Amino acid sequence: MKYTQLGRTGVKVSRIVLGTMNFGPQTDEATSHGIMDAALDAGINFFDTANVYGQGENKGRTETIIGNWFAKGGERREKVVLATKVYGNMAAEGDAWPNHDRLSAVSIRRNVEASLRRLKTDHIDLYQFHHIDRSTPFEEIWQAIDVLVQQGKVLYAGSSNFPGYKIAQANETAARVGAFGLVSEQCLYNLAERRVEMEVLPAARDYGVGVIPWSPLHGGLLGGVLKKQAEGGRRSGGRAADALKDPAQRAQVQRYEDLLEKHGVEPGEAALAWLLTRPGVTGPIVGPRTAEQLASAVRAADLELSGEVLDELDAIFPGTGPSPEAFAW
């Protein structure tokens, strides 16, 4: 497994990030524990979760599964760089009590304590803001995070789904108040969705913020979806299904799969490997439901795509172009 530094920090993390969103809703606890053990054995040390993962009435369930795994011992917690998130409403479904969500100091304090209990740990390595909070000033947010840092409950802060200007605003405020600021940004980024290249990635690079792409296969669209359909595999849903309704996008995906078949490369592994060639990318988040899906992601970390393949991928899925030139009429 290859490693890199998390943004401008000194901490070393694997270039594949284990996403845990499926733990609980789609993968039972025993299987989830097996996947985490296999990830550690493969050298993956960066695990990502969120307080709301678990769905519906089971919000928090995913953190609990991870906490139970840590409780097995064997230095599991010590070997993992643990990331979780705050923002989503943690109240029961249909319950509208205030301060159960967003990024007020009250919400951050309550939610970090709850996450620590579920995760059965005394600290979170990377505490991420799951969304921007337009109603809370960054001065308040950084004051709350700095208290947690001083208490040893949080080491670093990151963002998720932030536009470029909010990354800049967050870190300029941090510099003004003497906080360390954001060290990472999680964003939707893959071959089929490259809009973050216009502003988010340049802002992240300028501020030393590591980029952690989520949905690297674009909801399965880049994972060999057409071949799987032809072989009678599971029908696609969500983002992939919507894209395939468009004849032009379907033809684009067919070109992609044909290219990789010609070169003997699995589509899903190529999509991950492509992200690892992007400047500023720490590592994509993979959310395996099975051990084989995890093994495929591990192979992708060592896959070297040729210049010819990279050029052809860019031709099939052209990027937005550099900023600010891409904004010109």
128 and 158 Cβ atoms separated by less than 8 Å: yes
- Which one of the listed residues 53, 87, 189, 207 is annotated catalytic? 53
SS (H, E, C) the chain: CCEEECCCCCCEEECCEEECCCECCCECHHHHHHHHHHHHHCCCCEEECCCCCCCHHHCCHHHHHHHHHHCCCCCHHHHCEEEEEECCCCCCCCCCCCCCCCCCHHHHHHHHHHHHHHHCCCCEEEEEECCCCCCCCHHHHHHHHHHHHHHCCEEEEEEECCCHHHHHHHHHHHHHHCCCCEEEEEEECECCECHHHCCHHHHHHHCCCEEEEECCCCCCCCCCHHHHHHCCCCCCCHHHHHHHCCHHHHHHHHHHHHHHHHHCCCHHHHHHHHHCCCCCECCCEECCCCHHHHHHHHHHHCCCCCHHHHHHHHHHCCCCCCCCHHHCC
- Return left, alpha or beta for 179; rule: phi > 0 is left, psi -120 to 50 is alpha, else beta: beta
Instruction: Indicate if 156 belongs to the active site.
Output: no
Q: Considering only CA atoms, which of 179, 185, 81 is closest in space to residue 137?
A: 179
**Rounded to the nearest 5°, which phi and psi values hold at 3?**
-125, 160
- Please identify every residue annotated as catalytic: 53
